[in-house]
Structure 1
């Protein structure tokens, strides 16, 4: 004998019931089966609504009843053959009329007691089982319907009755032993007490009904058919990478179901466990899928953690006070008060100091719990021995479950480290001595991030997902996006990094896609995007609340730079080619550094100096390894190097600057480059990274531009001054040529002082042969006092700048 149970989604409508019938036909050919069915999907909720409306004297209950009636009659119409449909409909209508009368009675006395509630809710399963059994008669002659209330005997605890196992087992054995039917259909969830009153086994009780019958019959298997292919490693609606667990133990299944895995009602496991009956979780809509097998002992193919689950809408109650220390009985009184109030405790934790006790309850019980507990401890409160019960709401519990966690060191360490790195604050912790379950109370808003983070940590160790939010899609931004698109598959395969671009913004519009934006069509999508401001973009990023989030600034915008601290405070890492933030006031720069450390969010800005060259990276390694920077000499502007390498007697200064701008070597406003301010910012950043406290005003800037050019109020006016002052630039060029020198715009840092200026460099200097748009940096340190450490290469251009940003992304991914 095998027992099968079909849930509400499996019997939601005629189409789904037809799928169930096909499964039953196939199974009945192998052996006799008992089939437990739930109410049509959603009907139990509708029945509760109807009863509640009626008790409130709200005639809306009639509309709700009419909807319930229509659904059942429509199901009959679509399922039952024309020859029998009239009789079946007549019987269904008779049952529905009984329901209508009960609802009218509730309306008259405006009372919806638990006893009446059980009676009302029983109609869902009684109606669905009757309709399914009538359909089955067309397919299997030896099939019949049996009312579970005639078999399952309970006490009188309505809405969640306790089963009288001895009487129930006797009834089930007696009925099935004398029955010759191949298939027996039974309504789940419903039962009766010894006085004949209808009771129910609790929401989800149809699973329990099936387990009770399987246990009483010592069935070969118990199959729970639902709309998913087994118990998943996490809720697949929240964690897209979640996958079905092939095998799981009874104890693991109970833990996961208790902590929110809704495919299985927690009490279901116990009857099967007692008789060692294997439980299969199967998918009605994919009957050939393997599903999940729940049994006594399992293999450990997926490691020590079997699953991650959660419970929503939790409140944390904290009883604390110095008067509790060393005084026995506080815990007993607390739990007695909650028990009397019929409040279920989800989680318990108590510090060894006995100064406080923390319990988790469902949010809708929190205020009632506070009232009852404060009343219980009114005397102690009056003496200020304890504080009034503290209630913290908007919380949730996440639980990591696995039988073999106790045999593996560091599971809890990895769990809490992963949560901490992603800014998920843990409010309370509970772990039993069996170490089968580690539970943490977190903010409700962090559920998805926490589940994704933990799933990635325990089930996807080989691949790390980075979620990128890119602001700025000019030259560099577009190239960066193309580079990411080109390398996505390579990075997954070779570096085990899954890089997803979740948000993209230009100065006016923004687009988001939690699954990753299609990088082949982003520029079309953004035209139809939402209006963008700094605040709206930040809100979208934080509302998504994704793990491993990275904000990437590919602008030169001061307002964007000012938002870095907001992202860092949310533990969102920042990557920037924008130099403004790290060259602003020293106190602001220092604040960003401190926020990065405090919130465990990286702040990377390698492209601030030398585009794609590893200048800051090398400097950091020198300092971190204990070396001390004594002097820095550098050509840090690829733009200026390009200009002075191409400026000669055949090319005017004006023409060369125009060419540099056209080829993307200067900022859109070339004054930023030619004024020396950009180079000053770069040497300032290097000095700060070397450990020196400096501001931009401390950098001496010896400009080579004439005063008229420096005073130009627009780019167009600036270019006119370059034409007008052509002789000024020719004089500078000729003077250098007469000395056989090259013109290089040099940044220098010595003995805590820095300056930027145009220099005439002779042929013996390392800067002399610096070509094109290249940069060069000479680090003189205590370890490199005479022969400097030299870094040289392309220091300007969109391609190399984008590559530098990409390198920072990969660096973050590999940390």
Structure 2
């Protein structure tokens, strides 16, 4: 014999009930007990009618009408017309009684627990009756079993305690005396020895099925619901969650207690002692395996079997010097909570005995605070104990697994993963069995916490990076193209799942929780919201994704000023924008410190040399204990391009114009030609070498005429270049006469830095630097005579985008 329980979603409609019949009918030889819940949503409607009636709100009648129509329509859809009369009459009679009960609550203006049980019981009473009649009409050998006669409890209403001796006898006797293949009965409801109707608590239909399965020594208990088993995490919050094929009773109890709603927590206890397996199955996908719950067979399996959570938690803290060394404080505290029928879901106490912290439902907070403050009023008046402190808007996240016991590093991995994603832990608890590690976090961090932990423990080391990209011009568009091209490679080879969640230019911005379609991003952005830097950040923070990275592809000072807000919220920053790192040293230092404090990488490799690994190499030299003695560099790909193409057969104006057109210069080419861009770069290298330096301390030996430097727009700037063409030709001629080439060189030595145009003779490392290439010479204690040289393309959208790309991969590998 086996017991099948079908939940509310499984019997929510006539269509679903037909699926239930098909599942039951497949067991043609084995006897079956079918336990059913109320039609989906009916229990909530019944509770709502009771609440409104007790408030003397006549709106309960319209809800009652909806309940009536749901049941009558279900009968009409399932039962042939010629057989409907008697069934409809019975259903209407029951609904009339329900109406009378609600009228009574309306008249007296209150509802007692006893009356509430009676009202809410009609959901299961009606569904089980209708389903049993439908089975009979379909030729299934079926009997109806009245749960009130079989399941016996005490007189407690709302969550009655089962009398197992009487219940077991009733169930086994009824089964023995009934010869039909299928027995249909209502879940959730029972009765006391006095004949009063009782209920087994919300979700009690699972419990009913387990009680019956144990009573009749069933071969298996099948819980049919709308998901294919118990999952590694809530699939509604963690899309990568997977069904767990097999799990132990103890693991299932932990998961169900900590919010895995697929199974009512008390369900396991009745079948555990008899070793009856439980199978969680999906009514809508019956061929899927589901989850089998048995004795522990995960001996050599995963340490963590599931990640779950409980929402709507509050922390109560009782603390004060009067608790230290005083016996009985804990006893009094918990007695008061127990007497007030307040369930404690988490306990933690400091070894100093100075405080006790418990987690309870937020709905019990007001009662708990009042009760405890009253109980300890004497101590509080004498300031031995502080008034109770309640922290709201929290949730509990828990790792569960039999094999977690004595497995080193799990707690560290859990807390490290949460810490890296700025999930603040308010309290922790771990039972002596080591089967569960729980952490109390802010409720707004639950989704991020679950996804981060699931990624760490279940996703085969595939790390998801969530990007928020600002700036989609030359560099930004190239970056997106590179990401689109390499997305599959990143996932397969580097185990990185990189998604762009948000994107913005100066006009519009767009977001997609599932990742923006990189084949259609331009159209998505065009039809997006009005761009706003504050709203962009607010959305990033509201989405609260793990491994979030803000990518700045702009040259905007306003955007650079927002880095601190991202870093302070544990959102990494990757940028090719040099403004932040070349601003006041105090700001640069503060950003680096924020990155350290909040464990949010701040990477800006492309600030110097585009995609060349200049800054990264410098960091490694310093980290390994080397000391930078001198830096000589050609750091402007733009200026190198200009002076490699300028000669006596061209004009300086035309060469600069070409450099701008091909994307080698900033939109305002004066930034490059004035030397300010190179000043920023050598400043950043000096700072990364460990030196405190401000940009106004750098000597700038500009080759541009004063009039060109003082222009306010590109039109005037280019006009000035034409005006001073003769001056530029003189500079070229002087270098050519010495068989030298013009290079714009940056130097840093003995704490001083300078930039300027220099004549480079043959044989020098800079002489043959072609096109827009950059070159850096690092003279260090380890490389005092022959410098470490880094050389390559140092300008252009493609190589800059690749540098951005490389920084994101670095973060992925942290």
TM-score (normalised: structure 2): 0.99
Which residue number corresponds to residue 316 of structure 2?
Answer: 317
In the aligned structure 2, how far is the partner of 1:699 from the partner of 1:141?
92
**Match in the other structure for 1:441:** 440
Contact 1:2–1:220 (CA under 8 A) maintained in structure 2: yes
Which residue does 2:608 correspond to in 1? 609
Distance in 2, Cα, partners of 1:696 & 1:68: 75
Q: Distance in 1 between matches of 2:396 and 2:712?
A: 60
Q: Which residue of 2 aligns with 1:224?
A: 223
Q: Which residue of 2 aligns with 1:419?
A: 418
Q: Distance in 2 between matches of 1:271 and 1:678?
A: 74
- Corresponding residue number in structure 2 for 1:768: 767
SS of the aligned residue for 2:514 comes to coil
Instruction: Tell me how far apart the structure 2 counterparts of residues 369 and 99 of structure 1 sit (CA, whole Å).
Output: 35
1:536-563 per-residue CA deviation (whole Å, 9 max, x = no partner) reads 0001111111111111000000010011
State the Cα deviation string for residues 385-424 of structure 1 (Å, max 9, x = none).
0100000000000110001101421111111111111111
Helix, strand or coil for the counterpart of 2:461? coil
Residue 8 of structure 1 is matched in structure 2 by: 8
1:723 is aligned to 722
Taking the aligned partners of 1:787 and 1:300, their CA distance within structure 2 comes to: 59
Hey, what's the Cα distance between the residues in 1 that align with 2:689 and 2:663?
Answer: 30
In the aligned structure 1, how far is the partner of 2:762 from the partner of 2:45? Answer: 89
Distance in 2 separating the partners of 1:547 and 1:182: 52
Q: In the TM superposition, what is the alpha-carbon distance from 1:302 to its structure 2 partner?
A: 5.1
1:541 corresponds in structure 2 to 540
State the 1:208 CA deviation: 0.3
Q: Name the structure 2 match of 1:198.
A: 197
Secondary structure of 1:768's match? Answer: coil
Give distance in 1, aligned partners of 2:657 and 2:409.
61
Q: Hey, what does 1:588 align to over in structure 2?
A: 587
Does the Cα contact within 8 Å between 1:466 and 1:548 map onto a contact in 2? yes
Could you say which residue in structure 2 is the equivalent of 1:650?
A: 649
What residue number does 1:410 align with?
409
- Once residues 563 and 296 of structure 2 are traced to their aligned partners in structure 1, the CA distance between those partners, rounded to angstroms, is 51
Provide the secondary structure at the position in 1 that maps to 2:383: coil
Once the two structures are superposed, what CA deviation does each residue of 1:543-587 show, in whole Å capped at 9, x if it has no partner? Answer: 111111111000000010011010101111100000000000000
Q: For 1:82-93, list aligned pairs within 5 A.
A: 82-93=81-92
Per-residue deviation, 1:650: 1.3
Q: Which position in structure 2 is the counterpart of 1:273?
A: 272
* SS of residue matched to 2:801: helix
CA distance in 1, matches of 2:568, 2:486: 30
SS at match of 1:111: coil
1:736-751 aligned within 5 A: 736-751=735-750
Question: For residues 638 and 513 of structure 1, what CA distance do their matches in structure 2 show?
Answer: 36
Counterparts of 2:137 and 2:279 in 1: how far apart (Å)?
28
User: Aligned partners of 2:618, 2:388: CA distance in 1, in Å?
Assistant: 54
- Residue 702 of structure 1 deviates from its aligned partner by 1.1
Which secondary structure does the structure 2 equivalent of 1:516 belong to? coil
Alignment partners' CA distance in 2, 1:52 and 1:493: 55
Q: Specify whether residues 196 and 725 from structure 1 end up closer, same or farther in structure 2 by C-alpha distance, changes over 3 A only.
A: same
- Native 8 Å contact 2:25 2:140 kept in 1: no
| 3-state SS of 1:619 partner | helix
Aligned: 1:299 with 2:321: no
- 1:399 matched to 2:393? The reply is no
Pair 1:487–1:122, CA change in 2 (3 A):
same
Residue by residue over 1:341-384, the C-alpha shift from the partner in whole angstroms, topping out at 9 and shown as x without a partner, is 11111111111110000000000111110000000000000010
Give SS of 1:536's match: helix
Give the superposed CA RMSD: 0.8
| Residue 755 of structure 2: aligned partner | 756
SS class of match (1:316): strand
Deviation at 1:142, TM superposition (A): 2.0
Gaps of 5+ in 2: none
Contact residue 25 and residue 140 of structure 1 kept, 8 A:
no
- For structure 1, list consecutive stretches of 5 or more residues without a partner in the other structure: none
CA distance in 2 between counterparts of 1:542 and 1:453 reads 16
SS where residue 26 of structure 2 aligns? helix
Q: How many residues align?
A: 814
Q: How far 1:492 sits from its partner (Å)?
A: 1.0
Shift of 1:141: 4.5
* Partner secondary structure for residue 445 of structure 1: helix
Contact 2:426 2:441 in 1 (8 A): yes
Show the counterpart of 2:485: 486
Contact 2:281-2:288 at 8 Å conserved across structures: yes
Matches for 1:384-783 after TM superposition, within 5 Å: 384-783=383-782
| Cα deviation digits, residues 633-688 of structure 1 (max 9, x gap) | 00000000000000011110000000001100001110110000000000000000
Instruction: Find the aligned partners of 1:86 and 1:235 in 2 and give their Cα distance.
Output: 44
SS state at 1:613 partner: coil
The answer to whether the Cα contact below 8 Å between 2:248 and 2:298 also exists between their aligned partners in 1 is no
Check 1:434–1:616 CA distance in 2 against 1; reply closer, same or farther (3 A cut): same
Say yes or no: does 1:17 pair with 2:14.
no
Give, in angstroms, the shift of residue 192 of structure 1: 0.2
Are 1:774 and 1:795, in contact at CA under 8 Å, matched by a contact in 2? yes
Which residue number in structure 2 is paired with residue 359 of structure 1? 358
CA distance in 2, matches of 1:429, 1:121: 37
